[in-house]
Structure 1
Amino acid sequence: MTQTLEALSRRTATLTSIRGIVHTMKTMSAINAVPYEHAARSVESYHQTVLSGLRAFVAKTGPIAMPAAANAERILVVFGSDHGLCGNYNEVLAVTARTEASRVDGGARVLCVGARMNDALSDQGLSPEVTLLPPASADGIGRLASDLVTRLDEIGGGDVHNRIAVTLVFTRRAGKGQREPVVSPLLPLAPSLLSDPGRVGWQSRSLPDYTMRAMPLLAALLRNHIFASVFHASAEAMVTENAARLALMQQAEQAVDDRLEEVGGQFRLVRQDEITSELMDIIIGFEALKKKSSAP
């Protein structure tokens, strides 16, 4: 009986320690998600400014017909998790990436973010040619986005708009605390971005103007459009990862609380049985002494 009580006490202590760890992980996930969410909002505002610049450029120069990307090489950029404790985050995204790659004759080249994502893609029959480290903080998103843009520029031989077709594959938040994989085409640029008057027309009575040469300005605008798109995908992926981890830690905390309550009930029951047994021993001993003292 004593050993059972000791075992239950050790189990209670272990569960209490686990609950503390889970609670800490939950708190860290909630805290870490905030800077990434702020980064996603900030880059979205920046992206809108870049798109406004493109609209102003088109309003000044007229619609631009980009050359058709003949035999463009397909590139998939997959943003995964490398920290764990977020469920099947990488596995679901890897299935989406495989489905997207299967639509391309001859497959697609894959750039991967996250070592765990690399393993998930390998399980789906995809072999990333490069695996980059995910950002450890919101400050690292810019580093990752710049690295990816540079690599895409190298693959495209300095002409990414005509030689490669890039698709971003990442996870974003959905309604009611859910998440969903997203396949977002990045290159070649949508024709409406530079040539649809109804969409890119300059909505102002003030005429736009610029002083630098047209082609360097256009190249800078397009590069910043690509950078902002990659930055936003990375930030959104990190927000979703922490949200997924937070949800799982909440479930784990509830499961530990339920188990603690169950073990606590068992402990109280066993303890009550022990007290009852001790009382019975006292009563039996008292009755024995009483009979002995009353004997002639």
Structure 2
Amino acid sequence: MAQTLEYLSRQNNTLGSIRGIVHTMKTLSAINAAPYEQAARSIKAYHRTILQGFATFAHRSGGIALDTEDVREQLLVVFGSDHGLCGSYNEILAEKVASHCQDQTGPQTGPQTGPPPRLLCIGAQMNDALRDQGLAPEAVLLPPASAEGIGRLAGDIVTRLARLGHGQALHRLGVTLAFTRRGEHGLREPVTRRLLPLQPSLLQRERRWHSRSLPDYSMSADALLASLIRSHIFASVFRASAEAMVTENAARLALMQQAEQSVDERLEEVQAEMRSVRQTEITNELMDVIIGHLE
């Protein structure tokens, strides 16, 4: 009986330590998500300015018809996690990516048909999930360790896209971003979003300008368009990375909340068993004293 009580005491101490770790992880997940959420809101506002720039350029230049039929390279950028303890976060997105790759190479007609896209992966855990789906990324990048690191990652990806496109990003390179975004009612959903070639609507002239002041620009049209495209790519990649970090921490927070509840329930069971064992020991000792006194 004493050995059982000793075992229960050790188990109670172990569960208490585990609960402390889980609680710390839950707190860190909640704290870490806030800066990434702020970064996502900030880049969204910046991106709106870039889209207004496209509208200004299209109105002033009369609109541009983009040729999207001659895409020779397809690149899929997948934003995942570098750490675990976030449930099936990476696996769900990897399944979405595998389905997207299957659609790209399936028996269909149109400009999407062709060789499978090249994969650029962010996060070691995401790399493992993709390989489980039979996909092999060409490169694995580190996700940002803080909100300040999102700009570093976005700049690195933009540089890689520029090298891959050989200066012909509009006509030679197709880029899709795959990440997990926040959905309704606190849910998360994996999405794939086409980045390049540009959506034709970006460079279509509006029939009527929304202001009495007509838009104009003084720099060369080619330089302005190139700057707008690069800024659009940077903002899109930045936002996808920020959304991925927000949802990763949200997934880890939800998992830690479930773990904390399970640990609490198990602690209650162990402590109840300990009280029962102690009471039994006390009762047995009292009976031994009483019997010894009677003898």
TM class, shorter-chain normalised? Answer: over 0.9
Which residue of the partner structure matches residue 92 of structure 1? Answer: 92
Give the residue type in structure 1 aligned to 2:212: R
The match for 2:289 is: 282
Contact persistence 1:70–1:162 (CA under 8 A): yes
Question: Secondary structure of 2:284's partner?
Answer: helix
2:183 to 164, 174, 177: 174
CA contact (8 A) 1:74 1:108 kept: yes
Mapped pair 1:195 → 2:228: no
Deviation track 1:200-257 (CA, whole Å, cap 9, x = no partner) reads x531111112111111011101110111001000000000000000000000000000
- For 1:44-83, list aligned pairs within 5 A: 44-83=44-83
Is this contact kept in 1: 2:83–2:124, CA < 8 A? no
Counterpart of 1:83 in 2: which secondary structure?
Answer: coil
Q: From 143, 160, 173, give the equivalent of 1:164.
A: 173
- Give the corresponding residue for 1:265: 272
Which range is displaced more, 151-160 or 241-250? Answer: 151-160
Question: Which runs of at least 4 in structure 1 moved beyond 3 Å after TM superposition?
Answer: none
Matched, 1:225 2:235: no
**What RMSD in Å do the two structures reach over aligned CA positions?**
1.1
The 3-state SS of whatever aligns with 1:166 is strand
Q: Distance in 2 between matches of 1:5 and 1:285?
A: 25
- The residue type equivalent to 1:145 in the other structure is A
Q: Following TM superposition, by how much is the alpha carbon of 1:68 offset from its aligned partner in structure 2, in angstroms? A: 3.1
Whether the 8 Å contact between 1:69 and 1:164 is mirrored in structure 2 is no
Residues in 2 aligned to 1:114 and 1:68: alpha-carbon distance in whole angstroms: 31
Q: Matches of 2:242 and 2:126 in 1, distance apart?
A: 16
Structure 1 SS opposite 2:104? coil
- Residues 69, 163 of structure 1: 8 Å contact kept: no
Q: Where does 1:238-249 land on structure 2 (aligned, <5 Å)?
A: 238-249=245-256
TM-score between the two structures when normalised by the length of structure 2: 0.94
Cross-structure match for 1:4: 4
Q: Secondary structure at the match of 1:197?
A: coil
How does the TM-score come out when normalised to structure 1?
A: 0.94
- 2:212 is matched with 205
List per-residue Cα deviations over 1:137-189 (Å, max 9, x = no partner): 11110010011111111111111111011111001122233211011111111
Residues 114 and 134 in structure 1, CA contact (< 8 A), matched pair in contact too: yes
Unaligned runs of 5+ in 1: 289-296
Aligned to 1:116: 125
Instruction: Find the aligned partners of 1:258 and 1:196 in 2 and give their Cα distance.
Output: 62
Could you tell me which residue of structure 1 aligns to residue 20 of structure 2?
20
Bigger Rg, which one: 1
Report SS of the residue matched to 2:175: strand
Contact 1:69/1:188 (CA < 8 Å) preserved in 2? no
1:31 alignment counterpart: 31
Mean CA deviation greater in 255-264 or 87-96? 87-96
Residue 196 (structure 1) shift: 5.1
Contact kept? 1:168, 1:185, Cα under 8 Å: yes
Q: Secondary structure at the match of 1:104?
A: helix
Determine the C-alpha separation between the residues in 2 that align with 1:172 and 1:39. 14
Report Cα offsets for 1:4-53 as digits up to 9, x if no partner. 11111111111001000000000000000000000000000000011111
Letter aligned with residue 266 of structure 1: E
Checking the alignment, whether the CA contact within 8 Å between 1:69 and 1:161 is kept in structure 2 is no
Unpaired runs of 5+ in structure 2? Answer: 106-114
Partner of 2:139: 130
Distance 2:271 2:183 in 1: 38
